[in-house]
Amino acid sequence: MNSDDRNGIDYSMLQSRLGYKLRRAQLVYFDVFFEACAQEGITPGLFSILAIIYHNPGLTQSAVSAALDVDRSAMVAAIDKLESMEVVERRKSKNDRRSYALYLTSKGKTFTERLNRKVVAGEEGFDTFMKEGEREWLLDILDRIIAARQNK
Amino acid sequence: MNSDDRNGIDYSMLQSRLGYKLRRAQLVYFDVFFEACAQEGITPGLFSILAIIYHNPGLTQSAVSAALDVDRSAMVAAIDKLESMEVVERRKSKNDRRSYALYLTSKGKTFTERLNRKVVAGEEGFDTFMKEGEREWLLDILDRIIAARQNK
DNA sequence: TATTGTTATACTCTATAACTATA
DNA sequence: TATAGTTATAGAGTATAACAATA
């Protein structure tokens, strides 16, 4: 329980830690996510941007960077790349001529939906390791942990 | 449920994803872990090395890097740092003069134990968001997800 | 003055390749 | 030949600071 793992190494101090297991479990899902993205020629970070714009068309670059909690300087190359793939377009904002409003092209919408289906399908492969109702319970408890951070 | 989050942005495609919630929940715990380490002047990566050596004294650098799944070249600067802090020491291996056997100094043992207590205490702050028995259930389901990866 | 997008820059983490000394 | 530790180097990813245009 608190000693051996896969290779004769004793992971005690790490193994018993909930944070450590959350990290390793998250990496399992991340591999699936990463692989699905890679097949379509993008990265998880770029997919996150597409997902935000898909559901919130017209946001500025700064708004997207704030939503994803990365610096706005990081958005420049990211949007450049997505524009070169013709899945996102910058439209000059009319009310504020400093900023762009971001939209998915129709190709971008199709692309994002296909990618999303692929990721969902990949994750479903792990549902077989959960019993009836466990998935909902897991999502619920993760929500409580996430909410706990906001309450400091 | 599948729309708004903290700031009026719709995170649907990400929010519904189990991988995404695992990541965010993990980040909550990681913040605690990171903060506890920072107070002692190290990083989570260095603590992982200390934890491995604590329970497996005498391992070589390559064995530790394999246990933590990082490249052995990354171990050089890490062990240099831990040696300069006088918490780890390299001893020349007698059977194989190419390699070092790694040990914690007595200062290193005390250091690692104190840090471990600090991390455990930090994590316990989140136990209040779980009901009786939920923590064990969560650890169990995470183990199953982690094991699922090994079964390809 | 403050903010948007941008650029230049730096820092961390990690991986690859090549070297040396051993095996 | 293969392996352990090392070094140099390069690639992500991300952060800071400064600048021009605009608010």
Tell me how far apart the alpha carbons of residues A46 and A38 are, in angstroms, rounded to a whole number. 11
Kindly report, residue by residue over B98-109, the tens digit of the pLDDT.
Answer: 999 999 999 999
CB atoms within 10 A of CB A149: 15
Judged by CB atoms closer than 8 Å, whether chains meet at A30 and B21 is answered as: no
Range name among A2-6, A23-27, B131-135 with the lowest pLDDT average: A2-6
User: Separation of CA A68 and C1' D16 in angstroms?
Assistant: 18
| pLDDT band (50, 70, 90) for residue B3 | very low
Per-residue pLDDT of A24-69, as tens digits, reads: 899 999 999 999 999 999 999 999 999 999 999 999 999 999 999 9
Average pLDDT over residues B76-81: 96
Q: pLDDT tens across B16-31, in order?
A: 789 989 998 998 899 8
Contact A67 B9 (CB under 8 A): yes
Tell me, what's the pLDDT at A149? 72
User: Whole-number Å distance, CA B81 to C1' D9?
Assistant: 21
- For the domain with range A12-124, which CATH number is right: 3.40.50.80, 3.40.50.150, 2.40.50.140, 1.10.10.10? 1.10.10.10
Higher pLDDT, B149 or B127: B127
Task: State the virtual CA torsion across B108, B113, B116, B118 in degrees, nearest 10.
Answer: -110
Q: Which residues of B touch A33 (CB under 8 A)?
A: 17, 19
Q: Which residues of B touch A42 (CB under 8 A)?
A: none
Q: Which residue is the nearest neighbor of C12, CA to C1'?
A: B43
Query: Considering CB atoms only, which of B14, B48, B142 is closest to A25?
Result: B142
CB A80 under 7 Å to nucleic chain D: no
pLDDT at site A22: 92
Protein residues bordering strand C (Cβ below 7 A): A 60-62, 72-73, 75-76, 79, 90, 96, 98-100; B 43, 45, 69-71, 73-74, 77, 95-98
pLDDT digits (tens, 9 = 90+) for B32-78: 899 999 999 999 999 999 999 999 999 999 999 999 999 999 999 99
- For residue A127, pLDDT over 90 is answered with no
pLDDT at residue A151, rounded to an integer? 58
Identify the three-state secondary structure at position A14.
helix
Domain edges within chain A? 12-124
Q: What is the pLDDT of residue A16?
A: 77
Phi, psi dihedral angles at A5 (to 5 degrees): -125, -110
pLDDT reported for residue A4: 42
**Residue B152 exposed, middle or buried by CB count within 10 Å (0-12, 13-18, 19+):** exposed
Q: Class assignment of domain B48-150?
A: mainly alpha
pLDDT band for position B1 (cuts 50, 70, 90): very low
